[in-house]
């Protein structure tokens, strides 16, 4: 399981933070004060706008649930953060790291986006699977590039899982993250095992496609599911910190993770994403762009988990920000969660 470690970018930085100890339920951890993270250099860099610092703190403090927020200015070097060092559930945000591993394999000549792939029924996973109806007994013939497009623009779980095993499985993703210096980003056991374990189940091959899993989950006692979900929230199997995610986004945008061509391709897919239009994207003004990846975890009763949106905001004049809003757990309805994300974007736009 991922273990939180200090990020490399904090090695020569100073961080102001205060933490408070109130939580609405035993599944919702206490929020922290916003912090500005500054990198020490010979010449002092500009400090983050006070209005943005105050806005992020206010949004984080007033949110009923646990949330991590990180806003990183890629041009000036400062970071504004709220509860941004704690490892939180990624859910489908982790598709970003699979995509980077795929494009890294393309850069190294190990894969091509035009490589043919046959998706079999046994490759199907759970939840959102746009290709499920296309997979016949003979399988569904497609390409690496098409699977990547569906994984990143429509958050297609089975497409992502096929690509995950194409590049070597979870261990290969963890090795890639380590090799590229993304220390505060973990990676789980793959879609099927992650979702089964989060629900308190052990994955069975006959559940491929999702219906068997959903029936087994529905038959679980509420108390057993609650204990399993509590374990997941306490130590997420796919955990990452909000600061770790924005550090990875910064490295991607700066071209330090992939070749220039692969970077352009992946960011283009992220800009074309059709998921979460009312999350971070809802706060955009004319001329701003967002390349992003969403994540949505399981719910139990009125408790929602792993409701996320992370991405790269670019202003009309080219000013770049990496942003992560990761809602680990909350009992608030979807509109309130989306409103928080849109308000983070609006705060950035307003203070740019």
In a domain, 262, yes or no: no
183 and 200 fall within a common domain: yes
Predicted pLDDT of residue 36: 58
In a domain, 336, yes or no: yes
pLDDT beyond 70 at 169: yes
What is the length of the chain? 352
Among 168, 201, 230, give the residue marking a domain's end: 230
Instruction: Answer whether residue 18 shows pLDDT above 70.
Output: no
Same domain, 210 and 317: no
In a domain, residue 257? The reply is no
Is the dihedral angle over the CA atoms 179, 180, 184, 189 positive or is it negative? Answer: negative
Number of independent structural domains in the chain: 2
Reported confidence tier of residue 32, pLDDT bands at 50, 70, 90: low
Shared-domain flag, residues 341 and 291: yes
Domain co-membership, 13 together with 61:
yes
3-class DSSP assignment, residue 69: strand
Among 128, 98, 154, which residue's Cα sits nearest to residue 277?
154
Residue 110 shares a structural domain with residue 207: yes
48 and 107 housed in the same domain:
no
320 within domain boundaries:
yes
Residue range 314-325, pLDDT digits in tens = 999 999 999 999
**Percent of the chain at pLDDT above 70?**
87
Residue 302 lies in a domain: yes
The structure tokens 């909000």 sit at 242
The better pLDDT of the pair 34, 320 is held by 320
The tens digit of pLDDT for each residue in 200-245 reads: 999 999 998 878 999 999 999 999 999 999 999 999 999 999 999 9
Q: Are residues 152 and 203 in the same domain?
A: yes
Q: Are residues 33 and 120 in the same domain?
A: no
Count of other CB atoms within 10 angstroms of residue 33 = 17
> pLDDT-derived band of residue 129, with 50, 70 and 90 as boundaries?
confident
Residue 322 structural domain: 8-89+240-250+277-351
Q: Say which CATH number the domain at 212 has.
A: 3.40.710.10
């Amino acid at each position: 399981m991922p273990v939180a470690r200090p990020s490399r970018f904090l090695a020569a930085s100073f961080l102001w933070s205060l933490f408070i100890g109130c939580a609405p339920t035993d599944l919702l951890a206490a929020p922290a004060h916003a912090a500005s993270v500054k990198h020490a250099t010979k010449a002092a860099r500009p400090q983050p706008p006070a209005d943005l610092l105050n806005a992020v703190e206010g949004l984080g403090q007033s949110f009923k649930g646990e949330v991590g927020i990180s806003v990183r200015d890629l041009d000036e070097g400062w970071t504004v953060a709220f509860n941004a060092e704690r490892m939180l559930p990624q859910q489908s945000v982790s598709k970003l790291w699979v995509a980077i591993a795929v494009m890294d394999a393309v850069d190294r000549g190990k894969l091509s986006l035009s490589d043919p792939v046959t998706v079999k029924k046994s490759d199907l996973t759970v939840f959102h699977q746009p290709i499920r109806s296309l997979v016949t007994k003979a399988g569904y013939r497609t390409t690496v590039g098409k699977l990547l497009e569906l994984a990143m623009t429509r958050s297609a779980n089975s497409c992502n899982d096929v690509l995950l095993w194409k590049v070597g499985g979870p261990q290969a993703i963890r090795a890639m993250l380590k090799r590229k210096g993304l220390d505060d980003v973990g990676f789980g056991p793959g879609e099927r095992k992650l979702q089964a374990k989060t629900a308190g189940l052990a994955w069975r091959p006959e559940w491929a496609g999702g219906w068997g899993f959903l029936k087994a989950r529905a038959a679980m006692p509420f108390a057993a599911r609650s204990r399993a979900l509590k374990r997941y929230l306490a130590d997420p199997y796919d955990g990452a910190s909000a600061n770790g995610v924005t550090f990875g986004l910064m490295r991607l945008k700066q071209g330090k993770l992939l070749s220039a061509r692969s970077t352009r391709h992946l960011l283009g897919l992220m800009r074309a994403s059709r998921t979460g239009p009312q999350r971070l994207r809802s706060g955009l003004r004319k001329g701003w762009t967002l390349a992003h990846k969403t994540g949505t975890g399981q719910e139990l009763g009125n408790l929602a988990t792993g409701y996320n949106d992370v991405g790269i905001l670019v202003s009309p004049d080219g000013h770049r920000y990496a942003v992560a809003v990761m809602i680990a757990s909350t009992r608030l309805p979807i509109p309130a969660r989306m409103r928080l994300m849109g308000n983070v974007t609006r705060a950035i736009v307003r203070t740019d």
